[in-house]
């Protein structure tokens, strides 16, 4: 695979050479977005801040391992997601995602209904950790059900059913809140 042209490739190269100003610049470019990624998964501001710091320390420490087959942002996002999931597992807050006994089928198309991101965030605060994690990884972070299954040690069909259940609960919460 050929290298991806990254808009921050010059900063990455300077970071490889130990340039602290370049590190600060990359941090400033990505910190808010990566914090939000972590917060959506762990649902704890303090933990998300700690994860953000750990992720950047790891990224800068292991920058020589960054192969540029994806953007720096994608690589960093993967680090943040992994650290967030590990935090959930360690803190025992993430309830085991049960293998689905029955497959939840896709609901009729309701894509014409628009919800604000704030409505979705508020609703995500009111669903179980397991549902929130799968929903965040699929709908917001863009991971495939296969990738989610690998990350969480579940089947693809379980990821799909957990996502659909999460989506249903989020929609119910939004409707009931109005």
Please tell me the predicted confidence (pLDDT) of residue 121. Answer: 83
Please tell me the predicted confidence (pLDDT) of residue 102. Answer: 37
Average the pLDDT over 50-59 and give the result. Answer: 96
DSSP state string for 119-149: HHHHHHTTS-HHHHHHHIIIIIT---HHHHH
Please tell me the predicted confidence (pLDDT) of residue 7. Answer: 73
Please tell me the predicted confidence (pLDDT) of residue 112. Answer: 45
Question: Could you identify the residue written with the tokens 């609960």?
Answer: 169
| pLDDT tens string 24-40 | 999 999 999 999 999 99
- The rounded Cα 27 to chain-centroid distance in angstroms is 18
The answer, as to whether pTM is greater than 0.85, is: no
Residue 72 contacts by C-beta under 8 Å, 6 or more apart in sequence?
6, 8, 9, 11, 12, 26, 30, 66
Q: Which domains does the chain have, with CATH numbers?
A: 9-90 (1.10.1740.10), 117-177 (1.10.10.10)
Please tell me the predicted confidence (pLDDT) of residue 122. Answer: 84
């Amino acid at each position: 695979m050929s290298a991806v042209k990254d808009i921050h490739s010059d900063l990455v190269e300077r970071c490889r050479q130990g340039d602290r100003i370049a590190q600060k610049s990359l941090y400033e470019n990505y910190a808010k977005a990566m914090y939000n990624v972590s917060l959506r998964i762990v649902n704890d501001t303090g933990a998300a801040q700690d994860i953000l710091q750990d992720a950047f320390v790891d990224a800068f420490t292991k920058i020589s391992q960054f192969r540029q087959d994806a953007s720096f942002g994608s690589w960093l996002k993967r680090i943040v997601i992994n650290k967030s999931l590990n935090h959930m597992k360690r803190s025992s807050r993430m309830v085991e995602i049960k293998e689905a006994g029955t497959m939840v089928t896709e609901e009729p198309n309701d894509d014409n209904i628009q919800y604000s991101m704030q409505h979705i965030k508020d609703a995500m605060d009111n669903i179980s950790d397991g549902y929130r994690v799968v929903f965040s990884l699929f709908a917001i972070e863009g991971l495939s059900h296969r990738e989610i299954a690998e990350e969480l040690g579940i089947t693809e069909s379980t990821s799909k059913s957990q996502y659909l259940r999460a989506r249903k609960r989020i929609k119910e919460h939004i409707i009931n809140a109005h």
